Chains A and B, each alone.
Chain A
Amino acid sequence: QQQVKQSPQSLIVQKGGISIINCAYENTAFDYFPWYQQFPGKGPALLIAIRPDVSEKKEGRFTISFNKSAKQFSLHIMDSQPGDSATYFCAATGGSNYKLTFGKGTLLTVNP
């Protein structure tokens, strides 16, 4: 049972465009939703995270939108840059479930 579903699997965006990655979860006990960025040969790096008490969180060009009733959350990358090209993972954890459950990842390519 895949508890966190992520889409799309891959995404190609032009420089300056908006990249949008979506995730949906099933476990209502989840209460912390981080996004990780991973470059080839590197470990995942925390990008931004949100708790369900807010519907949106913005840090620089990165925004998480959260819809608790739909059990969905998304990452928006504004003014996408070639340096943003990486694999992005959504994840979830919560309650006594400290372990992160990851989506399958989205390979983002930003063309110059």
Chain B
Amino acid sequence: GAGVSQTPSNKVTEKGKYVELRCDPISGHTALYWYRQSLGQGPEFLIYFQGTGAADDSGLPNDRFFAVRPEGSVSTLKIQRTERGDSAVYLCASSYDSDTQYFGPGTRLTVL
């Protein structure tokens, strides 16, 4: 079946702009996660959804970052007033149980 998909695959924006990154999880997966991966590093947790609600947003770096999952399926990560330090690959993962997380290909965000 289809895996996790993320759009766009690449996003280039200017400092100060607003961006939205989309994640389509595997059908039937109730849990959805966002991670951020900087160059040469492992993914770092941002936020976790169980259904429609954000069960844990402790990894969001500041209040410029926000994510939603209004219908318990697709999720959008929103970044306001982007900064050059936000440049990274943003990964989405979904899971049916609490263990096995399946990752999408990521969105590479570049802030100029």
Chain A interface residues (CB < 8 Å from chain B): 6, 32, 34, 36, 41-46, 49, 89, 91, 93, 98-105
Contacts and interface: CB of A to CB of B under 8 A. Distances in A.
A46 B101 contact: yes
B44 A102 contact: yes
Interface stretch (B13-21, B61-69, B73-81, B102-110): B102-110
Nearest to A32: B99
B45 A100 contact: yes
A42 B105 contact: yes
Nearest to B43: A102
A89 B41 CA distance: 9
Contacts of B35: 100
B102 A46 contact: yes
Contact of A43 (B42, B98, B100, B103): B103
Interface residues of B, number: 24
Nearest to B103: A43
Contact of B33 (A36, A42, A99): A99
A105 B40 contact: yes
A46 B3 CA distance: 13
Nearest to B56: A99
A74 B41 CA distance: 19
A44 B98 contact: no
Contacts of A43: 4, 91, 93, 103-106
Given A41-B105, A43-B91, A98-B48, A49 B41 contact: no
B10 to A, nearest CB: 10
B71 to A, nearest CB: 21
A5 B31 CA distance: 26
B70 interface: no
Nearest to A42: B105
B53 interface: no
A103 B41 CA distance: 8
15 contacts: A34-B100, A36-B103, A42-B105, A43-B104, A45-B103, A46-B101, A89-B43, A93-B98, A98-B48, A99-B48, A100-B33, A100-B101, A103-B42, A104-B41, A105-B40
A102 B42 contact: yes
